[in-house]
Amino acid sequence: MNEYDSERMADLLASSHGLTPVEDPDRADVLILNTCSIREKAEDKVYTQLGFWRPLKEQDPARIIAVGGCVASQEGERLRRRAPFVDLVFGPQTLHRLPDMLDACLAERRPQVDLDFPDLEKFDRLPERPGRNGPTAFVTVQEGCDKFCTFCVVPHTRGREYSRPMPDIIREVRQLVDQGVVEITLLGQNVNAYRGATGLVGEGDLASLLERLARISGLQRIRYTTSHPNNLDDRLIAAHRDIPILVPHLHLPVQSGSDRILRRMHRKHTVAEYLEKIHKLREARPEIRISSDFIVGFPGETEEDFAATMDLVSQVRFDQSFSFKYSSRPNTPATRLRDSVPEEVKDRRLAVLQARITSFAQQYSEAMVGTFQEVLVTGPSRRDPAEWTGRTLCNRPVNFSGPAGIAGQIWSIGIEEALPNSLRGRFGSPDMPVAASGRA
């Protein structure tokens, strides 16, 4: 979501002040740090980066330094006290006011801080998206969260749940498809809690939004992230069965396999309820891959709780997932719990968990060797620009040699080798069923 927000900040400042991105901070008139507070030590990283930028401000006091995102939201006025050379501080919900803040800062010659949560106006005030190179795009459809898991900063930094009206989203996606985008990822902190105005009567859920987006001609893949298990209802499960362009991959964070820890996390679901949803999903779309987020070493997690997480991983056979050691985030209820799990125990549990998840992910990758996979060619490979890189339906990177001019197209690629984090493929084998589509 921060990537989306950063793009939108660039769009805003391009349309309001004609600013364009530069590679070198020395050449920037405005330096913006868009921050994320989800990981440990995020604040420290922000202040370290600001320390690097301080000499640039001293060299040229007219240069503007801005800090946005969740750390700004969390730190508030403290940020200005610790780094008084910062000119603009804004939260994720006020990024649309950036041009006005910049004008006010220049006119009044004093810093501006805006950490409001005016959720209704943000998306109305963002400019149309300019053409971008690339066949994939993020589209934020929902922001904020009402779940208040005890470890999470999101409800405190992004605010309560808000869903964009469907007509606005459909317009944005149509525009992106006209620009050559063939795959969109719908974003929201709690995306499957989406309930947006339909533009006709009342509100619609994520399943209705997906149905409407799937009718856009030229759109070939839809993903959405991140979901809460409680909002995965039967209608959304049916959408996975009925909408062919909805990819067979779902990121559905469970966090722990122990009901006791899930209660302490205030996740409001049990392991059995989670498994029931996975079962229904697999009935609806047998080839679907499930990934998750896990936290190990949550306060009070015993060896028994951790063993329950390992059991759950084996039952579900998760594909590539994210796992972290618990660390307390400022202003969250879990900070009041005693962080009882020693660091070395957290390290061990994390290593054990990651090894198990990696082994399942590797099995999935190896099962693809010798098959043809539908691959969206996203551009030249970073490691070897003479090669192409693309993504399978389950979002595995595939690198392969191929003819010029296929970026943005979907091809059937023969998979030859499963590497730890990617696949090697072959373009143009004689019996390969070619399924070229998309736009050059």
Residues that bind ligand SF4 (CB under 6 A): 145, 147-149, 152, 154-155, 189-190, 228
For residues 154 and 187, which CB has a smaller minimum distance to ligand SF4 in the complex? Answer: 154
**Closer to ligand SF4 by Cβ: residue 78 or 160:** 160
CB of 152 to ligand SF4, least distance (A): 3
Cis peptide before 270, with omega less than 30 degrees from 0? no
Give dist(CA 392, CA 370) in Å, integer: 14
Tell me the closest approach of the beta carbon of residue 149 to ligand SF4, in angstroms.
3
Cα distance between residue 96 and residue 116, in whole Å: 11
Q: Closest distance between ligand SF4 and the C-beta of residue 189, in Å?
A: 4
Q: Which is nearer to ligand SF4, 176 or 254 (CB)?
A: 254
| Tally of CB atoms within 10 A around 184 | 26
The nearer residue to ligand SF4, 189 or 321, going by C-beta atoms, is 189
In angstroms, give the least distance from the CB of 268 to ligand SF4.
9
DSSP 414-432: EEEEE-SS-EEEES--TT-
If 0-12 CB within 10 Å is exposed, 13-18 middle and 19+ buried, where does residue 300 land?
A: middle
Separation in Å, CA 56 to CA 34, 51, 64, 65, 104: 18, 10, 10, 10, 22
Q: Which is nearer to ligand SF4, 149 or 418 (CB)?
A: 149
Residue 422 CA to chain centroid, in angstroms?
20
How far apart CA 167 and CA 39 sit, in angstroms, is 34
Phi-psi region of 43 (alpha: psi -120 to 50; beta: other; left: phi over 0): alpha
Between 57 and 228, name the residue whose CB sits nearer to ligand SF4: 228
Least gap, CB of 168 to ligand SF4 (angstroms):
22
**Shortest CB 108 distance to ligand SF4, Å:** 36
- Give 181 or 295: the residue with its C-beta nearer to ligand SF4: 295
Given a contact cutoff of 8 angstroms between Cβ atoms, the answer to whether 261 and 295 are in contact is no
How far does Cα 192 stand from its chain's mean position? Answer: 14
- 144-154: b or e for each residue (b if 16 or more CB lie within 10 Å)? bbebebbbbbb
The CB-of-94 to ligand SF4 minimum distance in angstroms stands at: 19
